Amino acid sequence: MGVSSKEKRSFGQSTNLVGVPTELLGCREFNAHPVELHISGAREMNKNLFEMLSHAPDLADAGLAFHSYMNAMFGIDPEQREDGARARRFRASFLRLLKGWGYDSNGPEGAVLKGWVQSRFGLFPTFHKQVIDRLTGPVWTAYVEEKMSSRFHNNSIHTQLDMLYEFCQWALATFVAPGKTHLTLYRGTNSFDEHQIVERLDRRRVVMRINNLASFSEHRDVAGCFGDIIVTAHVPVVKMVFFNTLLPIHPLKGEGEYLVIGGEYLADASYL
């Protein structure tokens, strides 16, 4: 059974900033045979950063260099307070978004992150608090309102996330997974509302449409803490936005956590 034309049309918008058609980027064939992805202009506009990173002896040193560069560029202070008089000067930061995602991927910070994926990679979210099955109506409207909220949608937040993605890709290629195209990752779930089964190939193997941004773990036992069903997927390295040891600070709580760009994945789904 193939994917219907209606499902294909729902992958996302016609434009993105990575130079690969959205319909291709979202399909299982891309995930099986990925190509290198870069966000248009992100590396070109930050040549000094990547020149500096080229001298880093290890990931820890590179993470410190990246953090210092981002602080200089965007005035990011991980100790920003959000109360009192300083609230008027609050600057959105990718660190705050990651922290919010760790608490609740369906909160306002999660909406901004999903909106960034939509903008840069063209893929629509399929879930935000509820299933998003059409681009009209109250569920979609609530998502759009949250992703465009000025509270987190300032201080060039999409540019910050562009740089995070490019740094993540550089770190994976240089230190974490050099020469690898995929990593095996795991996700625990109790239902398939957020990540929908498109096709069931046999008792365990499924084609699953993963939300446009989702958390996975490199540890199966950690994934089991989040649900009785374990989804095992071979995730393209080019679809990884963040992993838990990328930076010297750890805004995400999950051990071995990866943020992964979605689409259709061939996966195993089995009970613990």
User: For the segment 155-184, what is each residue's pLDDT rounded down to a tens digit?
Assistant: 999 999 999 999 999 999 999 999 999 999
CA distance 185 to 260: 10
pLDDT band at 271 (very low <50, low <70, confident <90, very high): confident
- Cα-to-chain-centroid distance, residue 237: 12
CA distance 143 to 130: 10
Has residue 239 got a pLDDT over 90? yes
CA distance 243 to 62: 14
User: For the segment 27-58, what is each residue's pLDDT rounded down to a tens digit?
Assistant: 999 999 999 999 999 999 999 999 999 999 99
- Residue 247 sits at φ, ψ, to 5 deg, of -120, 160
Mean pLDDT over 140-163 rounds to: 95
Has residue 2 got a pLDDT over 60? no
Which of 99, 251, 259 has the alpha carbon at shortest distance from 185?
259
CB 59 within 8 A of CB 67: no
User: For the segment 69-120, what is each residue's pLDDT rounded down to a tens digit?
Assistant: 999 999 986 544 444 444 445 689 999 999 999 999 999 999 999 999 999 9
